């Protein structure tokens, strides 16, 4: 019999956690070759095309258009025609008749793939006499496991959730005696609870029915491995580290693990608030947030909360740089520079002159990462929100190269065709709203970067020069800095260098 294979949500980029099926490019029953485009998958920022890693026939689509799955989630089943429909259906049934959604454990798919098929266990039944004979050990936090279920031991053949394994080991539960009701007979915490209660023991509710929140651990968490940031946030929010997953390096609880528990225990009430504030006679349209909008909200909320922002503003005389731009555009017909291209180049030169602003803040390890080249993220507005494609090594590129790269990146950003490494990272950001008529504004830092430069419109203004009022074309530039890594004097040095390059544009040509 031919081998049954699957298509899964790939991991594009370090920060990718889930993907949404945008559209299938082939249909069930169609054959495909290796490298052929199979479907489009939308992440928080872009739409990528999944290419087939092997040749075969698409036998069953598991995830339909619009379905969101975690990385590694199975989206389709593939096999040659000699595999019967019954075998395909049986394989799909082994997945539980469905797919791991974005709220399920990321380890689900891998465990299904690698775990041995456990033998189905008969349901445990206990008579009254059994209950009387049992002598459960009662712990301080309300757990009471009957002797008949005691005896935890590590066995490779047991298929259970990570949380179930953790609690079983802690409370000495023999998982060989528990019937799993999950996908592929996977044992969950709920299964342990039901078995313990049926045997006459006590197991605190998995969910607090009155509040709808998970029961909180009261155990001492001082010895739980966690990053410094995770431990600080847990203390600030009153979260016990025992209640957090440990997905960080070396089995540590990470910042994201603590934030996940915080968001779970404090769900948003925005929808309720909107409904309460709108009169009965007025109907509001609820618009779900797409993946990009959620990512923007999460990242910028984190930046605003964690990074102590301060701002510095400077006025730039752009007469000279505008004159140079127009001269180049007239002299070299194939080049069409914008003032934004010129300002990107000036910012890159300033970052090399003042390298301590060309940094990222590694919050997890409490260190500053300083870069030797200026990788400048440039904010681009698109239909779904905002994306920041990167002009890499802008300090080494000509104005023509920067202009060409900017047009290419902007075009592909608006069609969702950027690769992950083209918008993730960067050492500094620029946001320009001048083309929309905005005179000046300040921007929120793009973490983990240390600063962002906000540029307003170029406009003619009356300026006092040598005790006389003259007219110059001016731009207001505001630098937002993370005070943890950039001090006021350092930010001022950068703006002074930037102003020098803008007002003496010949310097950026050499």
Within 13 Å and on the Cβ side, how many CA atoms surround 309? 20
Residues belonging to the chain:
510
The SS3 call for residue 137 is strand
Q: Cα–Cα distance between 206 and 203 in angstroms, integer? A: 8
Closest C-alpha among 451, 431, 428, 427 to residue 441: 431
Closest C-alpha among 226, 222, 223 to residue 248: 226
Residues in contact with 409: Cβ distance below 8 Å, sequence separation at least 6, in sequence order: 378, 380, 389, 390, 391, 418, 422
Q: Cα–Cα distance between 186 and 181 in angstroms, integer? A: 6
Q: Cα–Cα distance between 288 and 276 in angstroms, integer? A: 18
Q: Spell 410-440 as b/e; 16+ CB within 10 A means b.
A: bebbeebebebebbbbbbbbbbbbbeeeeeb
Closest C-alpha among 443, 505, 445, 499 to residue 475: 499
Query: Is 472 designated active site?
Result: no
Pick the catalytic residue from 163, 171, 262, 483: 483
Which residues form the catalytic set? Answer: 483
């Amino acid at each position: 019999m031919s081998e049954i294979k699957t298509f899964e949500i790939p991991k594009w980029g370090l920060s990718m956690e889930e993907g949404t099926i945008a559209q299938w490019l082939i249909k069930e029953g169609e054959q495909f070759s290796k490298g052929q485009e199979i479907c489009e998958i939308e992440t928080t920022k872009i739409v990528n095309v999944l290419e087939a890693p092997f040749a075969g026939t698409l036998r069953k689509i598991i995830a339909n258009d619009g379905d969101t799955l975690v990385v590694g989630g199975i989206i389709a089943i593939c096999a040659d025609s000699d595999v019967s429909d019954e075998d395909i259906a049986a394989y799909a049934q082994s997945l539980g008749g469905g797919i791991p959604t974005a709220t399920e454990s990321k380890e689900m798919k891998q465990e299904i793939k690698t775990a041995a098929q456990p033998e189905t266990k008969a349901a445990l039944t206990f008579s009254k006499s059994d209950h009387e004979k049992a002598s459960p050990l009662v712990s301080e936090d309300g757990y009471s496991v009957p002797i008949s279920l005691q005896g935890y031991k590590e066995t490779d053949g047991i298929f259970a959730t990570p949380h179930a394994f953790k609690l079983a080991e802690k409370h000495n539960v023999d998982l060989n005696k528990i019937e799993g009701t999950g996908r592929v007979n996977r044992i969950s915490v709920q299964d342990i609870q039901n078995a313990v209660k049926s045997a006459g023991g006590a197991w605190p509710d998995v969910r607090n029915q009155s509040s709808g929140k998970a029961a909180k651990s009261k155990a001492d968490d001082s010895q739980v491995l966690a990053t410094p940031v995770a431990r600080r946030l847990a203390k600030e929010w009153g979260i016990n580290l025992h209640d957090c997953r440990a997905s960080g390096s070396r089995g540590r609880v990470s910042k994201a693990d603590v934030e996940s528990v915080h968001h779970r225990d404090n769900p948003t009430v925005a929808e309720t608030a909107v409904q309460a504030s709108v009169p009965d006679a007025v109907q509001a349209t609820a618009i779900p947030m797409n993946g990009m909008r959620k990512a923007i909200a999460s990242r910028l909320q984190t930046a605003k909360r964690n990074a102590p922002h301060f701002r510095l503003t400077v006025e730039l005389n752009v007469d000279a740089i505008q004159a140079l731009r127009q001269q180049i555009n007239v002299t070299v017909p194939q080049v069409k520079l914008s003032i934004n291209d010129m300002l990107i180049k000036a910012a890159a030169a300033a970052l090399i002159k003042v390298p301590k602003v060309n940094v990222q803040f590694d919050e997890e390890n409490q260190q500053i990462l300083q870069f030797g080249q200026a990788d400048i993220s440039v904010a681009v507005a698109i239909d779904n929100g905002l994306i920041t494609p990167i002009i890499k090594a802008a300090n080494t590129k000509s104005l023509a190269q920067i202009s060409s790269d900017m047009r290419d990146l902007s075009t592909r950003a608006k069609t969702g065709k950027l690769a992950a490494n083209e918008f993730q990272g960067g050492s500094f950001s620029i946001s320009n709203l001048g083309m929309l008529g905005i005179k000046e504004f300040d921007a929120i830092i793009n973490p983990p970067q240390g600063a962002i430069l906000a540029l307003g419109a170029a406009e003619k203004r009356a300026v006092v020069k040598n005790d006389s009022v003259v007219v110059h074309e001016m731009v207001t530039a505001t630098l937002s800095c993370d005070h943890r890594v950039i001090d006021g004097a350092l930010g001022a040095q950068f703006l002074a260098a930037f102003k020098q390059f803008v007002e003496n544009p010949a310097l950026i040509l050499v």
